[in-house]
Amino acid sequence: MSDVFERPIDASTRYCAVFGFPVRHSASPAMHNAGLAALKLNWRYLAFPVPPEQLREALAGAAAMRFVGVNLTVPHKLLALELMDLLDDSARAWGAVNTVRFEGLRADGSWQPIGQWPDPEEPVRVRMHGFNTDADALVRALEEDLAWTPRNRSVLLLGAGGAGRVAALKLAASGVKRLYLVNRTADKARAVAEEIHARHPGCEVVLDYPDGPVDLLLNATSLGLRPDDPLPLDTRRFPLERAGAVYDMIYRPAETPLLLAARCAGRPTANGMGMLLHQGTRALEIWSGQPAPVPVMRRALELHLHES
């Protein structure tokens, strides 16, 4: 994406990145670098494979190099919670960090984002401030891509891991009436159900497939990343014709086996591109303090995913 920048990299260029393991599939660099160029920021966005046991060192290294910020993807979002110096309300509410903002200590004792640091000298001390932009991005994507809103609806959610847990909590907080939760590990699903019961008692959680139709089927598992993956649900227990709409958080491939099967069943479908877009645009706003150029970033994301 270097050709989108008018200004070449120099000694004052700042950096941001996505950490994941694996991370080669990420479309975030294409999206963010287009946004940075549109804002005329002398920044670059990179991608680094970081094994989970080295996340602490990787974050410390980014802070030491005065990075603007990093995004975190699988498997780092839960691990990062205990590594932050400060958690935003969003990270505390959803129990996961997908966006880190590095902040420098000013002479007057205040903390300022590195991306908004005005002085030529560098901060001597840096802290890590954790945010979560995934939860709001999911609800926004559902509304834009499927014209679907949560209040008083029923949802079959596949997966109770990091992404599934955040989705479950956000949907419950947004007014979903009944949530059917299916996960490979029963204990993990039970823990999410107990958390929802404590925090959002108005949402009924059922740890099984529904007997009848639901308004939305949402896949928060990784099944579908590979073309030979099986479907993430048992269609004998829940035929896809019973879903009002089907959303898959996976964005590459654009049509997972689940979405293909749902389309063949005549169901409205959407993939995770909208969620990726909106979590990314919000992250850029958190780092820069400026409104994100959403149409530019959307177009860059669409082109990248189409070309790849």
Alpha-carbon torsion (285, 290, 291, 296), positive or negative: negative
N residues, the chain: 308
Q: How far apart are CA 74 and CA 50, in angstroms?
A: 10
State how far the alpha carbon of 216 is from the alpha carbons of 196, 203, 242, in Å.
18, 15, 9
Candidate list 40, 77, 170, 177, residue with the active-site label:
77
Q: Nearest CA to 92 among 132, 129, 56, 127?
A: 132
For residue 77, indicate whether it is catalytic: yes
- Report, in angstroms and rounded to the nearest whole number, the Rg of the chain calculated over CA atoms: 20
Report, as residue numbers or ranges, the catalytic residues: 77
